[in-house]
């Protein structure tokens, strides 16, 4: 029996990256597509609370069931599990994102956010991103997409873990490596402009902020020409070392404060 794969993205239902991902997986899985109606880049794990969401079927080749949603990638997954799909998918696969999601950029990425939403529902996921943002040629590395997804299917990720895969923009890919998350990321670089009436406004641009990286980080491996896959764990976010070091002091401090107020 073929695995059931839900395809999502944040670049929108008509993104070439989503189509390439579908083309690479459709022969190997029962694929469904539920993606944003419009570009939702940079929304992270955001959801829509202040306006209604609409679901509209989209005609797709080979009778692939597809829908577009007027919301974020996380909205798409919520509606997929709660409204659209009759069965939970085996895996959520997101992308291919136009632009890198290496390093701490994962905290802003809608591509990652949709996969996290699946992981919160105990469905593992794989997110794909490509460094070339301006003129991406997804077919140049398409042969690597299914083998990575197959590995995730054959070697199930732990509960609450997703796989963040970034592809370098290089003439020839050197290989595929499991990596640790890097520290570099896109920081804000606001571009100030002025309305004709003199009111200032800003475009929140960005620039890459380099940090010292370990050689086994995704950022470093991408620079060496490797596809980098990072297992990211989101099921348990507690800083356990801080918890153990400060629990007694913290509790005692506020217990004393409470006693003082009562006296």
Asked whether the predicted pLDDT for residue 93 surpasses 90, the reply is yes
SS3 40: coil
Please give the CATH number for the structural domain made up of 4-262. 3.40.1210.10
Do residues 226 and 168 touch, judged by C-beta distance below 8 A?
A: yes
CA distance 247 to 243: 5
**Dihedral over alpha carbons 5, 6, 9, 14 (to 10 degrees):** 100
Domain boundaries, the chain: 4-262
Residue 185 pLDDT > 60? no
Token pair recorded at residue 160: 């609450």
Q: In the predicted model, what is the mean pLDDT of the chain? A: 91
The residue-averaged pLDDT of 130-159 equals 95
* Beta strand 55-57 pairing with 66-69: antiparallel
Q: Has residue 125 got a pLDDT over 60?
A: yes
Evaluate if residue 263 carries a pLDDT over 90.
no
pLDDT digits 0-9 by tens, 108-122: 899 999 999 999 999
Predicted confidence at residue 192, as pLDDT, reads: 77
Residue listed under structure tokens 């070339």:
132
Instruction: For residue 125, count other CB atoms closer than 10 A to its CB.
Output: 26
- With tokens 């929304």, the residue in question is 43
CA pair distance 42, 108, nearest whole angstrom: 5
**pTM for this predicted structure:** 0.89
List C-alpha distances in Å: 186 to 17, 104, 208: 21, 8, 4
Given a cut of 70, whether residue 235 has pLDDT beyond it is yes
């Amino acid at each position: 029996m073929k695995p059931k794969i839900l395809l999502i993205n944040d670049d929108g239902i008509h993104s070439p990256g989503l189509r390439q991902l579908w083309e690479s997986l459709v022969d190997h899985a029962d694929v469904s597509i539920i993606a944003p109606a419009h570009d939702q880049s940079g929304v992270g794990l955001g959801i829509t609370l202040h306006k209604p969401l609409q679901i509209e079927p989209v005609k797709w080749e080979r009778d692939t069931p597809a829908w577009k949603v007027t919301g974020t990638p996380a909205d798409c997954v919520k509606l997929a599990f709660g409204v659209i799909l009759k069965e939970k998918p085996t895996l959520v696969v997101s992308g291919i994102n136009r632009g890198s999601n290496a390093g701490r950029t994962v905290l802003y990425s809608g591509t990652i956010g949709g996969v996290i939403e699946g992981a919160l529902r105990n469905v593992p996921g794989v997110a794909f991103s490509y460094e070339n943002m301006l003129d991406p040629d997804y077919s140049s590395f398409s042969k690597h997409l299914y083998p990575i997804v197959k590995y995730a299917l054959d070697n199930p990720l732990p509960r609450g873990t997703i796989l963040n895969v970034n592809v370098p923009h290089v003439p020839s890919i050197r290989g595929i490596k499991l990596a640790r998350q890097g520290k570099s990321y896109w920081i804000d670089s606001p571009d100030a402009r002025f309305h004709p009436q003199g009111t200032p406004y800003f475009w929140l641009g960005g620039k890459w902020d380099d940090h010292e990286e370990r050689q086994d980080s995704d950022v470093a491996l991408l620079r060496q020409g490797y596809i980098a896959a990072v297992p990211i764990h989101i099921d348990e976010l507690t800083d356990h070392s801080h918890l153990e070091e400060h629990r007694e002091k913290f509790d005692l401090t506020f217990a004393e404060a409470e006693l003082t107020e009562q006296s």
